[in-house]
Amino acid sequence: MVASAPADRQARAAALIGRVALADQRAFEELYRLTSSHLYAVALRIVRDRGVAEELLQEAYVAVWHHAASYSADRAQPSTWLTAIVRNRCLDHVRKRELDTVSMTRDEGEGAPELDLPDGGPGPAELLAAGAQAHAVRECVETLEGGSRQAIALAFFQGLSHSELASHLAQPLGTIKSWIRRGLERLKGCLERAQAPR
């Protein structure tokens, strides 16, 4: 869950999720202590508001409590499962907000979203490189062309949509989409070779 995510931490989290599935409150508390600061950081980057991030984090753990039985250690690492739960909630939130903004307050100065990072942490590009380092897939990220790399980093670490990326990177929507598509295809092939199948 933190940067190096050692195997025993993952194993511990998997065992805890198994106990949470049986409504074990102590296991739930330990799982929360083990994972919440990482998941909160992930949420905060996407929604960029502490209050909203905390609310979505809480909802995510409510879902973990209720759906722990659907987790299967054969199919996904605990960190993948938990990160997806949090990210999907946050992305649903920002995409819906964007929809409201576009349809209702488009011309009321609610333009491009604030890109300031919480606490002035590392930028998306550094994080992408660091993530790659942590997982020994640096080559994969390095094979990406500049545009693809920048767009994927911004999308992943800042939760930007296609249209936000287009305005942030000053490129046509079509270019952004093809950068992302090409970059993801290349990442997939490379990660498939680098990541041990789970």
Partner 1 sequence: MNLSRPDRRERLDALAAEYALGTMPARARARLARIARADATVARALSGWERRIAALADAVPPVQPSPRVWHGLRVRLGLDGADRGSRWRSLPFWRGLALAGFVAAFALGIALFAPRTERPAESIVVVLAGPDGKPALVASVPPGERALAVKTLAPVAVPAGRALELWMLPGQGAPRSLGVIPHDGVRQLRLDAPPEIALRGIDALAVSLEPAGGSPTGSPTGPVLYSGRLERL
Residues numbered 109-168 forming contacts with partner 1, rule: CB under 8 A? 118-119, 121-122, 127-128, 130-135, 137, 152, 155-157, 159-163, 165
3-state SS of 13-54 is HHHHHHHHCCCCHHHHHHHHHHHHHHHHHHHHHHHCCHHHHH
Q: Which is nearer to partner 1, 26 or 106 (CB)?
A: 26
Residues in 43-82 at the binding interface with partner 1, rule: CB under 8 A:
44-46, 50, 53-54, 57-58, 61-62, 65, 69-73, 75-77, 79-80
By CB under 8 A, tell whether 13 contacts partner 1. no
Going 37 to 35 to 141 to 158, the CA torsion angle's sign is negative
155 Cβ contact list (under 8 Å, min separation 6):
161, 165, 180
Q: Which is nearer to partner 1, 80 or 111 (CB)?
A: 80
Please state the closest distance from residue 182 (CB atom) to partner 1, in A. 11
32 Cβ contact list (under 8 Å, min separation 6):
61
Please state the closest distance from residue 88 (CB atom) to partner 1, in A. 8
User: Rounded CA gap, 25 and 28, in Å?
Assistant: 5
Q: Which position has the token pair 């890109």? A: 115
Q: Which is nearer to partner 1, 88 or 105 (CB)?
A: 88
Q: Which is nearer to partner 1, 79 or 150 (CB)?
A: 79
Q: Which is nearer to partner 1, 71 or 150 (CB)?
A: 71
Interface segment toward partner 1; rule CB under 8 A; list 2-10, 107-115, 142-150: 2-10
By CB under 8 A, tell whether 41 contacts partner 1. yes
Buried b / exposed e along 49-60 (16+ C-beta atoms within 10 A): beebbeebbeeb
